[in-house]
Amino acid sequence: MKFVHIADMHFDSPFTTLSDKGNLGEKRRIEQRNVFKNIIEYIKKENIEFLFISGDLYEHQYIRKTTIEFINNLFKEIKNTKIFIVPGNHDPYLKQSFYNIYDWSENVHIFNSKIEKIELNNIDIYGYGFDDFYCSDSGIKDLKIDDPNKINILLIHGTLDGSNSEEMQYNSMSRKMLEEKGFDYIALGHIHKNNFEPNGRIIYPGSTISLGFDELGGHGMVVGDINKDKIDLKFIKLDQTEFVETEINCTEINSIEELIEKINNLNLEENKLYKLILVGKRNFEINIYNLYKYDLDEKIIKIKNNTKPNYDIEKIAKENNLKGLFAREVLEEINNKKYDDEILEKALEIGLEILE
């Protein structure tokens, strides 16, 4: 059986971190649509039998009917492909959700919060979908495969091995428990970074396109061909825009003009959006909001200031004033190793600014 596995498309996402950069949020929404069209064209060309969508296809809070119609019209173009969707925490199967009230194409099956099995000749497809924005127990631990001789597929949205209270709210599942179930392939969604392995059985494809700088690297879909004896998987990159973080060391930079010159001399690649992270010791005050006023390359989307003041604390400690007294107190704490150096550095910075 040949399949395409995607997740976390997040149609109609507001792209809040990008919306303050002109029309970039709108541009990304158009790119979402183009990527989805490319997936459908790939399915047509390669005669793919199954499309698995493992949650967060759209944003419940922002989704428009016109977008649902756009999605469904594309589904109608691949009538010979069986489409299985499990709602996630961003697109749960609510009473008034489009999953529940919209007339979807006949080749679409949407799972809800009751674990369901769809029987197809030598294939059984199991699925579970969110019916709320949170899920603490999907009941998946009690699921047993009915016929191990068939190809058994599980579609589910959630967190593998959740370790904190936040992760536990989103259907946390033990990898060991899932492995013991004996599925031939588990199509996961929720985590936006893929964990792709060519011979993997429990796979996050990652978000289909990157939603921001917390989703670095390539984004796309997993394509598989599977039988009881063999699995053949490949990851196909679809998102032509990549988010990149680049550091600039400011220790040897002595003015805002030098910093701007340094930024303008960066070799920025096409089809990449950049977050600049300023590091090292700063020799002058850096106001991020003022930096944005300069004529920077449009590929620079965000700038973050992680620099620390270039203080000579031992020199300041010799001064016979309040600054010197404060610096001596901080030096003593540094030598005592009672507090973390980073905390003391921040305390020094704040204290010296107040006493300036």
Cα distance between residue 222 and residue 236, in whole Å: 6
99 burial type by CB count under 10 A (0-12 exposed, 13-18 middle, 19+ buried): buried
Give how far Cα 259 sits from Cα of 65, 168, 248, 293, Å: 47, 44, 9, 13
Q: pTM (2 decimals)?
A: 0.86
Q: Are residues 165 and 273 in the same domain?
A: no
Helix (H, G, I), strand (E, B) or coil at 216: coil
Does residue 271 come out as left (phi exceeding 0), alpha (psi in the -120 to 50 range) or beta? left
Where is the domain boundary, 237, 265, 300?
237
Residue 327 pLDDT: 81
Scanning the structure block, which residue is given the tokens 């936006």? 192
pLDDT for position 348: 78
Count of domains observed in the chain? 3
Q: Do residues 58 and 153 both lie within one domain?
A: yes
My answer on whether 323 and 305 are in the same domain is no
Predicted confidence pLDDT, tens digits, the chain (356 residues): 999 999 999 999 988 666 556 688 888 899 999 999 999 999 999 999 999 999 999 999 999 999 999 999 999 999 999 999 999 999 999 999 999 999 999 999 999 999 999 999 899 999 999 999 999 989 999 999 999 999 999 999 999 998 788 888 999 999 999 999 999 999 999 999 999 999 899 999 999 999 888 888 899 999 999 998 899 999 999 999 999 999 999 999 999 999 999 999 999 999 999 999 999 988 888 889 889 889 899 899 899 999 988 877 788 888 888 888 888 888 888 888 777 777 877 787 778 778 76
Domain range for 290: 242-309
Q: Are residues 57 and 20 in the same domain?
A: yes
Same domain, 297 and 318: no
Angle between helices 341-355 and 322-336 (to 10 degrees): 180
Residues 84 and 216 in one domain: yes
Confidence at residue 39, expressed as pLDDT on a 0 to 100 scale: 98
| Sheet hosting strand 108-110, strand order edge to edge | 108-110, 82-85, 50-53, 2-6, 220-226, 231-237
Contact 180, 145 (CB under 8 A): no
User: CA nearest 49: which of 13, 81, 71?
Assistant: 81
One domain, residues 256 and 155: no
Please write the tens of the pLDDT for every residue from 163-210: 788 888 999 999 999 999 999 999 999 999 999 999 899 999 999 999
Pair (23, 121) in one structural domain = yes
Q: Are residues 202 and 69 in the same domain?
A: yes
* Residue with the two structure tokens 């489409």: 83
Q: Are residues 167 and 271 in the same domain?
A: no
Tell me, yes or no, whether 140 and 176 share the same domain.
Answer: yes
CATH number assigned to the domain comprising residue 12: 3.60.21.10
**Residues in CB range of 238: below 8 A, 6 or more apart:** 35, 38, 39, 208, 209, 219, 220, 221
How many other C-beta atoms are found inside a 10 Å radius of the C-beta of residue 101?
A: 10
Domain boundary pick from 237, 253, 275? 237
Are residues 232 and 250 both part of a single domain? no
Which tokens in the block code for residue 98?
A: 């489009």
- The full DSSP string for 89-111 is SSS---TTSHHHHS---TTEEE-
Domain closes at, from 212, 237, 262: 237
